[in-house]
C-alpha cells in the first residue's frame, strides 16, 4: 500500500513544527522530539471525531452486552433464532454492530502513513540526510531518537540509560525504559478499547490479543528508532485520556451516538 499521498503532507507538517520549535532546542529536549510530540497530538486531534465515534460505539455495546448474554442463554441451542433476536435487539436499541468499524478503517491508513513519516524522517520530513545527521535528536535519557534505544555508538556510548556494564540477550546493555512504556500503554489502551465478548471463544481470542499486542510493540520498540517509540507513547497516552473521559461520561450512550 503506497501512502505517500498522505505521508508527504504529514512530513511537511512535522517539518513546519520542527522549524517553529527549533529555537527552544535544548540538551535534554530536542526540537526534533518536541516536533514528534506536537505532531502526534495534532494528528490525534484530526482523527478525534472518528475515534470518538468508535469509542461511543464501544460504550453502547457495553450497555447492550448483558441483554445479548440473556439471549444467548435463552436461544443458545438455536443459532438462527439467536441471530434474529440479536438483530431485533440492535434495531430496538438503535445500534449497528458495524458502527465502530468504519471509523477504524478510515483511521488505519492515516495511522500507517504517520508511522511512515516517523520511521523515515529523512524521506518525508527533512529530505536531506546530511542535515538530519547534524540536528539534535535527544530526548531525556535517549541520545538520538534516530536510533534504537539500546543502540551502541562507535564511541562506546549507549543510546539510553546504561545497565551498568551488563548486557542482556536481545535487549542489550541499555534499560529499555521507553520500550517498556510502549508495552504498558499498549496493554492499557488495548484493554480499555476491547469490545465486550459475547461468547467464550471470542473472549479467549481477545485475551490472547490483549497479551500479544503489548509484547509485539515492546519488541518493535527495541528494534526501531526511538522516535517511533516516543510517537507511540504519546499517541497511547492521548487515547487513554480520551477513552477514560468518554467511557466515564454521564451522558446517555444512545444520545452520544447521534
Per residue in 34-84, pLDDT tens?
A: 999 999 999 888 888 877 777 777 777 777 878 887 887 887 777 788 888
Predicted pLDDT at 124:
93
Cell of 223: 528494534
Whole-model pTM: value is 0.79
Round the average pLDDT of the chain to a whole number and report it: 82
**Terminal-to-terminal C-alpha distance of the chain:** 33
Hey, how many other C-beta atoms are within 10 angstroms of the C-beta on 235? 21
Instruction: Give alpha helix (H) positions in the chain.
Output: 4-21, 31-46, 48-75, 79-92, 101-119, 121, 129-134, 177-193, 200-223, 226-247, 253-256
pLDDT greater at residue 250 or residue 79: 79
The strand pairing partners of 142, in sequence order, are 139
Q: How far apart are CA 6 and CA 27, in angstroms?
A: 32
Cell of 180: 517498556
Amino acid at each position: 500500500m503506497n501512502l505517500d499521498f498522505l505521508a508527504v503532507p504529514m512530513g511537511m507538517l512535522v517539518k513546519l513544527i520542527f522549524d517553529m520549535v527549533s529555537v527552544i532546542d535544548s540538551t535534554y529536549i530536542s526540537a526534533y522530539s518536541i516536533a514528534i510530540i506536537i505532531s502526534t497530538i495534532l494528528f490525534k486531534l484530526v482523527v478525534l471525531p472518528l475515534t470518538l465515534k468508535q469509542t461511543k460505539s464501544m460504550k453502547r455495546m457495553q450497555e447492550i452486552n448483558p441483554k445479548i448474554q440473556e439471549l444467548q442463554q435463552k436461544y443458545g441451542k438455536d443459532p438462527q433464532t439467536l441471530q434474529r433476536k440479536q438483530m431485533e435487539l440492535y434495531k430496538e436499541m438503535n445500534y449497528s454492530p458495524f458502527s465502530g468499524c468504519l471509523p477504524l478503517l478510515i483511521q488505519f491508513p492515516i495511522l500507517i502513513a504517520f508511522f511512515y513519516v516517523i520511521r523515515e524522517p529523512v524521506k518525508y520530513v527533512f529530505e536531506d540526510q546530511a542535515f538530519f545527521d547534524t540536528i539534535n535528536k535527544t530526548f531525556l535519557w535517549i541520545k538520538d531518537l534516530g536510533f534504537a534505544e539500546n543502540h551502541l555508538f562507535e564511541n562506546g556510548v549507549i543510546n539510553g540509560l546504561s545497565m551498568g556494564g551488563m548486557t542482556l540477550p536481545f535487549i542489550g546493555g541499555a534499560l529499555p525504559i521507553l520500550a517498556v512504556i510502549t508495552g504498558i500503554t499498549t496493554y492499557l489502551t488495548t484493554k480499555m478499547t476491547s469490545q465486550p465478548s459475547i461468547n467464550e471463544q471470542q473472549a479467549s481470542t481477545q485475551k490472547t490479543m490483549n497479551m500479544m499486542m503489548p509484547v509485539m510493540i515492546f519488541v518493535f520498540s527495541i528494534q526501531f528508532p526511538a522516535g517511533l517509540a516516543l510517537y507511540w507513547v504519546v499517541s497511547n497516552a492521548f487515547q487513554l485520556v480520551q477513552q477514560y473521559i468518554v467511557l466515564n461520561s454521564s451522558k446517555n450512550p444512545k444520545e452520544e451516538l447521534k
